[in-house]
Chain A
Amino acid sequence: MWRFLTWRLLQAIPVILAVITITFFLVRAAPGGPFSTEKAVHPQVQAALEAQYRLDQPMIQQYLSYLGDLVQGDLGPSFNFPGRSVNELIFSGLPITAELGLYAMLVAVLIGGLAGVFAALKPNSLQDYVPMSLSMIGICMPSFLLGPLLVLIFGIWLDWLPISGWGNSPGDKVLPSITLGAMYAGYIARLSRSGMLEVLSADYLRTARAKGLPERVVIAKHALRGGLLPVITFLGPAFAGLLSGSFVVETVFQIPGLGRFYIQAAFNRDYTMILGTTTFLAALIVFFNLLSDVIAAWLNPRLRYQFKKAS
C-alpha cells in the first residue's frame, strides 16, 4: 500500500511541474502585459513596476525564481490587486468554492446514488426508466443553462429562493449547489445503476441470500460496497470537473469564489494570479485523482491483496 502511494505521489510531481511550466510560458507569450494600458506611464514608473515584479530579468531567471518561491509556498504578489498576495486571494476564495463543491458533491452522490440503486433494483420497469431519463437530463443540461433556468423558475417566478450571493440570505446556497451537482448526479446515477446490476447477479450475493440474510442487509451491506466502486473511481475526475464547473456557477450566481477570481484574473491578464490559481487548481485535481485511486484500492479486496503482495 505504501509503495503504491509513494509511486503515485512521485507520478504527480512531473504533472504539476508541467502545468506550472506550460502556464508560465504561455502567459508570458501573451501579447500585452498587465501594465500596458492605454495611458502612457512614465518610463521610470514602468521600470520600477517591472523591477518589483521581476519582469526586467531574463525569462528563464524569472521562471527559476518563481519555482524557488513556490517551493516555499509563496505564489508572489498579485498584479491587479496591489499590496495583496496571490496566496491571500486564493485563500479568501477557497473556503467558498470548497463549500460549494462539497454541497454539489453531496447533491450528486446522494441523489445520483439513490436514483441509480433504485433503478437497478427493478431494471426495465418504470422504477428504472424515470430516474434514468432524469439522469439523462442532468447530463445533457449544461450548468450555464440549468442555473439561469432554476433562477428563473424558483427565484423569479415562484420567488422561493434567493437568486444570487453566498451565505448572505437563508437558502441562497441551494440553487448553486443543485446547479453544480446536477450533471454529476446524472453520471453517478448511471454508474451506480450499471455497477449494481453487475453485482446483483454475482455469486457472492447468492451466497449471502442463501445463508438467509434479509434482502435489506444483502443490498445495504454486500451489494452496495461492490456496486458503488465505479462511483468512487469517478469521484476524482468529478472533483476536477466540479472545479471548472464552479467557474460558471460562481459567475451565474455572483459567488466570490476561486472560479470567479480565476476568470477575472484571466480577463485582467493578472499573470501571477493566473499562474497561482492554475498551479493551485492543478495540484488539487491531481490530489483528488490520487485520493479516489487510493480509496478504490482500499475498497476493492482484489486490488488490496495485490498491494499487500507487492509491498
Chain B
Amino acid sequence: MEMPKGVSLWEDASVRLRKNKLAMCGLVFLVVMVLLCLITPWIVPYGYEEQDLRLGASAPSAAHWLGTDIFGRDMLTRILYGGRVSLFVGFIATFVALIIGVTYGAIAGYAGGKVDSIMMRLVDIMYALPFMIFIVLLMVVFGRNLVLLFMAIGAVEWLTMARIVRGQVQNLKQQEFVEAAVSIGQSPFAIIWKHLIPNALGPVIVYTTLTIPNVMLLEAFLSFLGLGIQPPSSSWGLLISYGVESMEEYPWLLIFPGVALALTLFALNFLGDGLRDALDPKASRD
C-alpha cells in the first residue's frame, strides 16, 4: 500500500498556477523578455547609439527588424536597451517598496495597540496625499536622477503593502506557534522575521507582482513628461514620447515601444492575477 503524499501549500499553489493558461503565458513572456534584456549587449548587431544618417527613419526591413528612428538607429536595439532600464526601475523600485512596506506593516501588526494605531493612522494620512503631484515636484525640484526616482516611486507604493502585511501579521500573531516561539524566549525580531513574515509570504508575493507594473507605468509616465529617465539613457516611456513626436510620418516609432511596454504590463498583471488565485484563493478578484 502506498502512503498518501502530503501536498504543501506551495505545491498546491504551483499546480493551480500551471493550470492558469493566461498566467503561464505571462510568466513565459516575462522570462523571455527579462533574458533578452539581460543579454542585450551581446546579441544585438547594432550599437545603442550607432547612427546611420543616410538611412534616416526607415520602416521595418530584413536588416532592421523593427525599423530605424530618425537618426537611423536600430529600433530593436533601442527597445531592448530601453527595456533594461524600464525593467530595472520596475524591479528595484518595487524592491524598495517591498522592504519598507513589509518592515513597517510587520512592526505595526506585531506591536499592536497604540503603536499600531499611530503607525496606521500615518499610512491613512499618506494615502490621502496627492503623491503623483509630489513625484512630479520632486523630479522637477531636485533634478532627474535615477536614485531619487526609485526612492520617490518606492515611497508611494509601500503603503498598500504595509496594510496587507499588517493585517496578515495581526491574524498570525494570535496563533499557537507564535505563542510557542514567545514562550521559548525568541526575540520579537526573530519572531517577525522567522515566523510571521514567511507565513505572510503568499499575499506579499501576489502584491509584489502587481506592484511592478504600477511602478513601470509610473516610470514611463514620468519619462513621457520629460521628468524621468533622461537621454542618452532610454526607457520605454521615453521611446514612446519620441515616437509620439513623429507618429504621423513614422508610426512604427510609436507602435513598437508601445507594444513592448503594453505586453509586459499585460504579462505582469496576468501573472499577478494568476498568483493571487493560486496562493490566496479566498481573496476576491477585483
Contact = CB atoms under 8 A, between A and B. Distances in A.
Chain B interface size band reads 35 or more
B266 A144 contact: no
A141 B265 CA distance: 8
B243 interface: yes
Contact of A248 (B133, B213, B221, B265): B221
Contact of B243 (A12, A148, A285): A148
B140 A267 contact: yes
Interface stretch (A14-22, A213-221, A300-308): A14-22
Chain A interface size band reads 35 or more
A274 interface: yes
Given A140-B262, A145-B258, A266 B128 contact: no
Contact of A144 (B125, B241, B269): B241
Given A27-B141, A152-B254, A263-B225, A145 B240 contact: yes
A190 interface: yes
Interface in B231-262: 237, 240-241, 243-244, 247-248, 251, 254-255, 258, 261-262
Given A144-B241, A252-B244, A262 B130 contact: no
A97 to B, nearest CB: 14
A136 interface: yes
Nearest to A151: B247
Given A26-B141, A136-B269, A142 B217 contact: yes
A244 B132 contact: yes
Interface in A8-67: 12, 14-15, 18-19, 22-23, 26-27, 29-30
Interface in A150-204: 151-152, 156, 190-191, 194-195, 198
A121 B199 CA distance: 37
A24 to B, nearest CB: 11
Interface string A210-250: 00000000000000000000100000000010011001100
A196 B137 CA distance: 40
Q: From DSSP, what is the main secondary structure of chain A's interface residues?
A: helix
Contacts of A145: 240, 258, 261-262
Contacts of A274: 137
A26 B137 contact: yes
A205 interface: no
Nearest to B226: A267
B141 A247 contact: no
Contacts of B133: 244, 262, 278, 281-282
A274 B134 CA distance: 10
Q: 9 tightest A-B contacts by CB?
A: A244-B132, A30-B141, A140-B265, A194-B286, A266-B140, A144-B224, A148-B244, A15-B128, A145-B258
Interface of B: 125, 128-130, 132-134, 136-138, 140-142, 213, 217, 220-221, 224-225, 237, 240-241, 243-244, 247-248, 251, 254-255, 258, 261-262, 265-266, 269-270, 284-286
18 contacts: A14-B125, A27-B137, A140-B213, A144-B220, A144-B224, A145-B261, A148-B254, A151-B247, A152-B247, A190-B285, A190-B286, A247-B132, A247-B225, A248-B225, A262-B133, A263-B136, A274-B137, A281-B130
